Amino acid sequence: MVKDAYYRIKYEVKAKHILIRTPAIATPSDTLLAFKKINEIREKIKKGEDFEKIAVEFSEDPSAKDDPQTGRQGNKGNLGYFSAFRMVFPFEDAAYNTKVGEVSMPFKTRF
């Protein structure tokens, strides 16, 4: 783990994400429903649909979408560059272990 952290501190990755929420205390059926939803979204992207368009349409992260009330532009799922210790560990781990241009398998974080 120390070697991973050292490597990650030296190199930044650029990541995009699509957030699908579950209740704070999720039941197995809540988790399964979210897992099915994110897998369907993942398949759309793998088949060539535009990631940013899909993020705006399906992500439950409010920062992905434009806010017409404030005029704020949404990030369309783009989180930019980061290195170690900047994201929650499951996200960081997925970002560093997914090859450039590929789509990670779904994973769960506290968000």
What's the mean per-residue pLDDT of the chain?
Answer: 95
- Position 76 scores a pLDDT of 98
Listing DSSP states for 17-32 in one string gives: -------SS--HHHHH
On the question of pLDDT at 5 being above 90, the answer is no
Query: From the CB of residue 36, how many other CB atoms can be counted at a distance below 10 Å?
Result: 12
Is the confidence at residue 49, as pLDDT, over 90?
Answer: yes
Condensed to tens digits (0 to 9), the pLDDT of residues 9-23 reads 899 999 999 999 999
Residue 31 tokens read as: 């988790």
pLDDT of residue 54: 98
Instruction: Compute the half-sphere exposure of residue 53: CA atoms within 13 Å on the CB side of its CA.
Output: 5
Confidence at residue 2, expressed as pLDDT on a 0 to 100 scale:
84
In tens, the pLDDT along 61-106 reads 999 999 888 989 999 999 999 999 999 999 999 999 999 999 999 9
Amino acid of residue 39: N
pLDDT of residue 18: 98
